[in-house]
Chains A and B, each alone.
Chain A
């Protein structure tokens, strides 16, 4: 069975602190994709990153960085020097293939990040 777990329901930090959002996934597939999305109060999902299962290289994009470790089935997301504008709900998601049905996206429970000034 496919599953994505974000154990942290809510995180509150003070501006300029670093914060890491955890994501653990389960799948028996060898080919899959992992995503992170940001959902601000408006509700619209904002795509942050996509990783395929064969690319374990960590990635940095400005203040954002991602650590993908297949050995622990984790795809953690770190925000460095957090800002108030980072306040949102963040979702980790797994895309896996189903025979004759294409790809399906399953989301974690989400982590609500609150960055206080």
Chain B
């Protein structure tokens, strides 16, 4: 089956620094990838849709300048949390739809746990 990886799996950083999270589709190409954020004991909330070769589409309330998304190739999307603060501490998960299109099953990465001190 399709596999999506994320790196790093966890990261601890100081307040004010920037953190980059990578999402890779390992055995398939993904022109679209999705980024979710999950706070403890809460549901997954879609942050943005990453589009290969074009700008990302952000959900309402998500700051574009704070969460920079780059979809540089058909297998890699990156999320950079700029000037991170403790309130950005969360579990970040990416996903990519299967090759049959967006209607199909979405394959999720294992997630990245970010802790901002």
Contact = CB atoms under 8 A, between A and B. Distances in A.
Interface stretch (A41-49, A55-63, A67-75, A80-88): A41-49
Which size bracket describes the interface of A in this complex? 20 to 34
B91 A43 contact: yes
Contact of A102 (B93, B102, B107, B113): B102
A91 B43 contact: yes
Contacts of B95: 105
Main secondary structure, interface of B, reads strand
Contact of A109 (B43, B57, B91): B43
Interface in B39-70: 42-46, 49, 57
A106 interface: yes
Contacts, number: 52
A43 B90 CA distance: 12
A5 to B, nearest CB: 11
A43 B44 contact: no
Interface string B25-51: 000000010100000001111100100
A107 B111 contact: no
B43 A108 contact: yes
Contact of B46 (A91, A106, A108, A109): A106
Interface in B88-111: 91, 93, 95, 97, 102-108, 110-111
Q: Report the 10 A-B pairs with minimum CB-CB distance, sorted nearest first.
A: A103-B102, A102-B102, A45-B108, A44-B110, A43-B111, A107-B43, A107-B44, A109-B43, A110-B43, A50-B105
30 contacts: A33-B103, A42-B110, A43-B91, A43-B110, A43-B113, A44-B111, A45-B44, A45-B93, A47-B105, A47-B107, A50-B105, A91-B44, A95-B103, A95-B106, A97-B102, A97-B103, A101-B49, A102-B32, A102-B49, A102-B102, A103-B103, A104-B46, A105-B46, A105-B95, A106-B46, A107-B43, A107-B45, A108-B43, A109-B43, A110-B43
Interface of A: 33, 35, 37, 42-45, 47, 50, 52, 91, 95, 97, 101-110
